[in-house]
Amino acid sequence: MRNINLLLVLATVTLTAVSCGSKKETPKEETPKMLVLYYSQTGNTKAVANEIATKLGADIEEIVAVNPYDGDFQATIERCKQEHEQGNIPDIQPIKADLASYDIIFIGYPVWFGTYAPPVQKFLLGADLSGKKIVPFCTFGSGGLESSVRDIMQAEPNAEVMPGYGVRAARMEAMPKEIDQFLKANGYLEGEFAKLEEFPAQHEVSEEETAIFDAAVGDYPMLHAKAKTVAARTLPDGMEYLFTAENLPREGKPNMPPASELKVYVTVENGQAPVFTKVVR
């Protein structure tokens, strides 16, 4: 009996040794290599790019136009209109980064005429980002994230274009907090973040909700609209409203957009006045 017990112990030790010897370590996932690539005229998009690159520890490079745009708003508008009518796209300086070595490329730009600024258009025309993940980010007066993302998808059909981030130039002070939320919510940065609930079904606006809408958009000269329906959801520090509104034409303002339906996002932080965050036309 003693011999049998000894054999059992030896067998157990042998199996344990074999098991330990055959155990393989699980390979660690490699951290994706990220590049933040941006064009900025006034410095707003540059500020967003620096915030992203700093938080992620990513490489960063600026897209530079060979013939820079003047800082004056009206001069930029006139030049862009002329270039568009003539089919001209301004040249940019060569990109120094080896794009092939990156897995994720954040592309930043100001929104002009509903899409990315021409220097970014020039970059996309000459770049093959097939197989890359593209993360758009932009700054704007009232909106243009959604329309510019659609244009990136058309320009780079073989890339995976991810959800993007946009911020109004009038709301740059909110950008660092929003970037932190955006990067964490989309898995680029580890850490806790506020998971937002979906907007419920829309309902007709009340007098109180109409007042919130009017207070948010009243001072913006390029938006003359009337709220029709709304949905609201809770934020960690207030409320967010999604209004469906009618963009009304103004008499004597032929350059204003024609009457149409649009979406207007409005936030009301605790103790603060309503502000609109973006318009989706």
Q: Which residues contact 152 (CB under 8 A, 6 or more apart)?
A: 107, 116, 124, 134, 136, 161
User: Is there a single domain that holds both residue 181 and residue 132?
Assistant: yes
Residues 168 and 224 in one domain: no
Relative to beta strand 115-116, strand 165-168 is unpaired
Q: Are residues 178 and 208 in the same domain?
A: no
Q: At what angle do helices 145-155 and 118-126 cross, to 10 degrees?
A: 20
**Domains of the chain: total:** 2
Q: How far apart are CA 243 and CA 230, in angstroms?
A: 4
Q: Is the pLDDT of residue 7 over 50?
A: no
Domain of residue 254, residue span: 203-280
Same domain, 233 and 94: no
224 and 181, same domain (yes or no): no
Q: Which residues contact 63 (CB under 8 A, 6 or more apart)?
A: 37, 38, 39, 92, 95, 119, 120, 123
Q: Is residue 25 part of a domain?
A: no
* Domain match, 232 and 148 both: no
DSSP letter at 82 equals H
Q: What region does 145 belong to: left with phi over 0, alpha with psi -120 to 50, or beta? A: alpha
Q: Are residues 46 and 179 in the same domain?
A: yes
Position 51 pLDDT exceeds 80: yes
Where among 124, 156, 185 does a domain terminate?
Answer: 185
Integer Cα distance of 224 and 212 in angstroms: 15
| Same domain membership, residue 208 and residue 162 | no
Give the orientation angle of helix 175-185 with respect to helix 44-56, to 10 degrees.
50
Residue 90 binned pLDDT confidence (cut-offs 50, 70, 90): very high
pLDDT higher than 80, residue 37: yes
Is the confidence at residue 243, as pLDDT, over 50? yes
Q: Using a pLDDT cut of 70, give the percent of the chain over it.
A: 86
Q: Which residues contact 234 (CB under 8 A, 6 or more apart)?
A: 197, 240
129 and 225, same structural domain?
no
Q: Are residues 171 and 208 in the same domain?
A: no
Please, what is the end-to-end C-alpha distance for the chain in angstroms? Answer: 87
Domain contains 21: no
Whose CA is closest to 189, among 34, 60, 29, 75? 34
Out of 11-15, 89-93, 217-221, least confident range: 11-15
Global pTM reads 0.86
Q: Has residue 235 been placed in a domain?
A: yes
Q: What is the CATH number of the domain that holds 180?
A: 3.40.50.360
